[in-house]
Amino acid sequence: MSERFETYNLPRLSDEEMVVESRAFYEEMNTRRSVRKFSSDPIPLEAVRNCIDTAGTAPSGAHKQPWTFCLVTDAALRKDIRKAAEEEEFKNYHGRMSEVWLEDLRPFGTDHIKPFIEDAPALIVVFKHVHDSVDSSGKKPNYYVNESVGIAVGMLLTALHRIGLVALTHTPSPMGFLAEALGRPNNERAFLNIPIGFPAAGVEVPVLSRKARKDVLVEHHG
């Protein structure tokens, strides 16, 4: 066996067990919702670190793992991030966004005011590595960066939900202020700002439905 490979084994469930386990996991994940109002209660940061470790198990192009997760609890820093985010979001809601986009957002009641950045006890700011660090040989490329980081974020959100935390995928645009605020190197670009915590007491979320299986699944069988 090559030194670059190792034997891999995964316990094999029966067909019946697979159906039961997959349905149970779906039912659990179907309770996941994006939340914009957070409790100020502290959260166990080691549990959050474990969730970030889980995100880091995601597949990535050429196994370059082109991501950095910044865990931010500092109140002054979150205040600064909110101020910068709201400045950009004001421009978005008052000129950058199309009328169609604004109309699509109206059912969710969003605007340029983002109190959740400060109200949530922590932020996870995700950065993508557009290339590896520069050395004497120049930039080292990364591959399928958006796809890789997107998969990792999905696994992060799943892990957070699994332990009873809620999250919001916040995408202020442009997001250059996040790299500056958090002192990230030039090869990193902000991908998502994710406030996390426990939901506020009595929090409400929009009434919505998810697409049915028939609307998202196309099967081809021989």
* CATH code given to domain 35-198: 3.40.109.10
Task: Delimit the domains of the chain by residue range.
Answer: 35-198
Residue 126's Cα: distance from chain center in Å?
Answer: 7
pLDDT at 1 over 80: no
Q: Whole-angstrom Cα distance, residue 167 to residue 46?
A: 17
Give the CA distances from residue 40 to residues 73, 116, 124, 198, 218, in Å, rounded to whole numbers and listed in that order.
Answer: 11, 10, 16, 8, 43
Q: Are 71 and 182 spatial neighbours (Cβ–Cβ below 8 Å)?
A: no
Q: DSSP states of 144-157 as a string?
A: SHHHHHHHHHHHHH
**Structure confidence by residue, pLDDT tens digits, 88-108:** 888 878 877 788 877 888 877
| 201 secondary structure, DSSP code | T
Q: Which of 75-89, 96-110, 113-127 has the lowest mean pLDDT?
A: 96-110
Per residue in 180-214, pLDDT tens?
999 999 999 999 999 999 999 999 999 999 999 99
